[in-house]
Structure 1
Amino acid sequence: MISGYVITFHTHYESLVCMRSLEKSEAAQNGAIAVKLIPVPRELSSACGTAVKVTIKDGGIFGAENFTNIERDEVFTFDAAGKYTAVGK
């Protein structure tokens, strides 16, 4: 079961825009997700160095389709063990 998503970007600006957009989403407002800027994990990419981590809270429903309108590089899922899996570009 996935715990959330890590989204990488080409620029720092894109990561900030994404974070702000997700923070304003209904899912974040009702506590279903937590959104945070993080350094890109080395095993994923070296893109711009900044990623957005979206953690899904207790049984929340939030899918990769929520990222289709976001200017980004790649989307990865992560599980409780910290294993990353690419979802796609």
Structure 2
Amino acid sequence: MISGYVITFHTHYEALVCMRSLEKSEAAQNGAIAVKLIPVPRELSSACGTAVKVTIKDGGIFGAENFTNIERDEVFTFDAAGKYTAVGK
């Protein structure tokens, strides 16, 4: 089961815009997700080195389809063990 998503970007600006957009989302307002700006994990690569981590809280439902309107490099899922899996661009 996935614990959340890590989204990488081409620029720092895109990461900030994404974070602010997700923070205003209904899922974040309801407490279903937590959104955080992080350095890109070593296992992943990114042009700008900044990523957005979306952690799904217990019982929360949030899918990769929520990222379709966001300028990004790649989307990865992560599980409780910290394993990353690419979902796509």
TM-score of the pair, normalised by structure 2: 0.98
38-47 or 78-87, which deviates more: 38-47
SS class of match (1:41)? coil
Per the TM alignment, residue 46 of structure 1 is displaced from its structure 2 partner at its CA by: 3.4
SS class of match (1:62)? coil
State whether residues 9 and 46 of structure 2, in contact with CA within 8 Å, keep that contact through their aligned partners in structure 1. Answer: no
SS class of match (2:22)? helix
Size of the aligned set, in residue pairs, is 89
d(CA) in 2 for partners of 1:46 and 1:22? 20
**4+ long deviations beyond 3 Å:** none
Per the TM alignment, residue 19 of structure 1 is displaced from its structure 2 partner at its CA by: 0.1
d(CA) in 2 for partners of 1:41 and 1:23? 21
d(CA) in 1 for partners of 2:88 and 2:42? 17
Per the TM alignment, residue 59 of structure 1 is displaced from its structure 2 partner at its CA by: 1.4
State whether residues 10 and 46 of structure 2, in contact with CA within 8 Å, keep that contact through their aligned partners in structure 1. Answer: no
The percentage of aligned residue pairs carrying the same residue is 99
d(CA) in 1 for partners of 2:64 and 2:47? 20
TM-score of the pair, normalised by structure 1: 0.98
Per the TM alignment, residue 35 of structure 1 is displaced from its structure 2 partner at its CA by: 0.1
Gaps of 5+ in 2: none
d(CA) in 2 for partners of 1:46 and 1:72? 10
Per the TM alignment, residue 42 of structure 1 is displaced from its structure 2 partner at its CA by: 1.3
State whether residues 40 and 46 of structure 2, in contact with CA within 8 Å, keep that contact through their aligned partners in structure 1. Answer: yes
Gaps of 5+ in 1: none
d(CA) in 2 for partners of 1:43 and 1:55? 18
SS class of match (2:15)? helix
State whether residues 8 and 50 of structure 2, in contact with CA within 8 Å, keep that contact through their aligned partners in structure 1. Answer: yes
